[in-house]
Every structure is written in structure tokens, then in C-alpha cells.
Amino acid sequence: MTKFKAAIFDWAGTTVDFGSFAPMGVFIKAMAEFGIEITIEEARAPMGAAKWDHIHALLHVPLITRQWVENYGKAPNDADVDAIFKVFVPMNETVAADYSDLIPGTIETIADLRGRGMKIGSTTGYTRSIMQHVLPVAAAQGYRPDNLVCSDDLAEGRPGPFGIYKCMVDLAVYPPAAILKVDDTAPGIAEGVLASCVTVGLALSGNAVGKTLEELAAMSEPEIAVLRDHATRLLKAAGADHVIDSIRDLPQLVTQLEAHSS
């Protein structure tokens, strides 16, 4: 048995979709529907937040706001966010299943944690309608967490702590210090911090690096180290207690934390 009672995982960039490509591409396409050009870096910057909040953040980036004003003669408002969100969600529903391959090590890590007596929760910045396309693909590969909390299940999404609180109720686990929150984004780490969980950031598999497995495999160790350091700084700045490369490395970290506490 472990001192940790549960691990709560994010989805894209954490357990599925190595590099977190599905949402990034859809943000670019959805904004283009409204005549707004955004870069990959701009699309990725607010990643991890609820998708409505993500769009809101994008529209308030000065260069993007300027494009909106030039196109529509006024500053963007919440109604404009609503309009883009209505386009974004169906687009993401369409592609989500195509980006639902499990990140290597997920099945083995979940089995390890369950073998220690831990429950497996999950939260996401995706809406439940999007996750309905992801869940069966993940399940077919053997990943079935004990619960799921989506961005539109509660009044406030990430970086607020309510998704974690809902997991605690669903899984019947407490206190927060006995729960690991595992995520590849700053808002997802902040969610865990605000709920007083032990937070674990994932550097190489997620949004901050944004590379495929094949792209990483073609890079040298010094090149990878630069990417790792960049992602680690972002995750640490968000409050991550620990940062590892990917979900594959979590069992080793848990073992180390166990040894340290004994």
C-alpha cells in the first residue's frame, strides 16, 4: 500500500495525444473561420484551461485583439467568444478520436498505481461532448479511469480547484496531500495546487514541448534537454512539486516519494 490514495490525470498530453496536437490544431482552424490568424505558439499558450476560457484568453492577446478590431470594428466580447466556441467544439469532436492514442507507459503506470492501492481519477479542459469521442478509443486500448470531470461539468474549470474536489467526492479520497495531480499544462498544475494536492508536471509528452514521439526520437540529447528545461520552468512556475518526462516515469517518482516519507 502507498501513502497516496489517488492519482488524478489530465488527458491530452498526459495520457493520450503525445504532444497535445488535437486542441492546438482546432484552435487555429476555428479562429481562421472568423478571419483571425494565430500561430501555433499562440494557440498553445493557454492550453489546459477550459476551452471557452482558452478562446477568451486568445482574443485578449493584443495582436489577436487588433486583428479582431480590424475585421469587425470593435473589441471582442463574451458573445464573440461564444460564437467561436460553438464552432470550436464540433471541430474538436470530429478530430478528437484521431488523437487518442495512449502515451507510451500509460497502461503500465496505471497498473502499477492500482497495484499500490491507488484510485485513478481524471479531469480535462475538454467538454464532455468532446470526451465522448475520446473515451471509447482510450478504453479500447485498456485505459479506463475511475472517473472523469469535464470542463463543462462545473461552474468553473481550470485553474480553479473544483474539478479536483469533484474527483475527491467521486473517488471518496482525502486529504488532498494524499492525492497526486498529474498534468502537462500550467492551468492543470494550478488546479492541483489550489486543491492542495501533490502536483506532478510532465515535461516532454505535453503541450509545452509539442513534439511527436518520432520528432523527439530524431533529436539529440542536448536538443531534448533544452526543450525539457523550458517545459520544466513553465510547470515549476505554475507550482509543480515535481517534474518528470512523461507518465512512464511516475511509478519511479512515487517509489522515491514513498522512500523519502518513510
Query: Count of CB atoms within 10 A of residue 51's CB?
Result: 26
Cβ burial, residue 80 (10 Å; 0-12/13-18/19+): middle
Tell me which DSSP letter residue 246 carries: S
Kindly give, in sequence order, each residue whose CB lies less than 8 Å from that of residue 255, ignoring residues fewer than 6 positions away: none
Report the helix count and the strand count for the chain, using DSSP H and E.
Answer: 12, 5
Of 172, 179, 206, 205, nearest in space to 193 by CA: 179
The answer to whether 29 is a known catalytic residue is no
- Give DSSP secondary structure letters for 145-173: -S--B-TTSSSS-TTSSHHHHHHHHHHT-
User: Which entry of 5, 17, 51, 181 is annotated as an active-site residue?
Assistant: 51
Residue of 193, 181, 49, 191 whose CA lies nearest to 127:
49
Taking the alpha carbons at both ends of the chain, their separation in whole angstroms is 13
Give yes or no: 51 in active site: yes
**For helices 221-237 and 186-194, angle between their N-to-C axes, nearest 10 degrees:** 40
Q: Do 59 and 31 touch, CB atoms closer than 8 A?
A: no
User: Which residues are identified as catalytic?
Assistant: 10, 51
